[in-house]
Amino acid sequence: MKTELAKILSIGGQPGLYRYLVHSNGGIVVESLADGKRKWMGPSARMTFLSDISVYTQTNDELKLQDVLIRMKDFLQQEQAPVPGKDPAAMAAFFEKVIPEYDRDRFYPSHMKKVLDWYNVLRSADALDFEVPAEEAAEDATESPAEEIKPDVKAETKAEAKVPAKPARSVANTSKSTA
C-alpha cells in the first residue's frame, strides 16, 4: 500500500508520526504509526501534515519532504537512517551527501534531526512507498501535449441572455421638511 503524506501528521508535543483517520466532534482521530493506538486530538493541537513540509535549498526552489525521503531511501537502500545524536556536524555531513543543494543557513540541525526521525518511523512502519499526490499527477498530465478544449462562448451568452434583469428599485422621497 502506498503512503500518502497528505494523511501523515507530526503533532507538536507528541512523539512519532500519526495517520489521519477521521474528523470528529471538535477535532480529529489519529493513529500512531509506531504502535497503532488511536487518539483524539483537539483543535488546539499543533498538527502539521508532512506533505506541507519542505527543505530549503540554495536555489530559489524548496525541496518537498517527500522528495527528500525518496532521496534518503535511495541513498540508504532502504536501510535505517543514522540515529540523530548530539553531533550536528555528522547530520550535516549526511545531508550533504543526500541533498547537496540544501541551504546550510536555513536547514538547522533540529530540522535534520526531525527528518531523520521521521524517515526511521516511516521505514519501521513500512511506509516509504509514496503515492503521487493528485495535483502532481494532474500537472504531469497537463504537461503532455493534448488538444486544447475551447469553451463554447455562444452557450454562455445565451444562458446569460435568458436571465431577466431585476427591475430597479424606486426610492421614495422620505425626507421630511419642517415648516
Cell of 22: 477521521
Give the pLDDT of the chain (179 residues) as one tens digit per residue.
Answer: 688 999 999 999 999 999 999 998 899 999 999 999 999 999 999 999 999 999 999 987 899 999 999 999 999 988 899 887 778 899 999 999 999 999 999 999 999 999 999 999 999 998 888 876 655 555 554 554 444 434 444 444 444 445 555 555 555 555 555 55
Of 116, 13, 6, 12, the C-alpha closest to 55 is: 116
Residue 24 has a pLDDT of: 86
User: Using CA atoms, how far apart are residues 112 and 88, in angstroms rounded to an integer?
Assistant: 9
User: Using CA atoms, how far apart are residues 150 and 166, in angstroms rounded to an integer?
Assistant: 31
State if pTM tops 0.75: no
What are the chain's domains?
5-124 (1.10.10.1650)
Cell of 82: 543514522
Residue 112 has a pLDDT of: 94
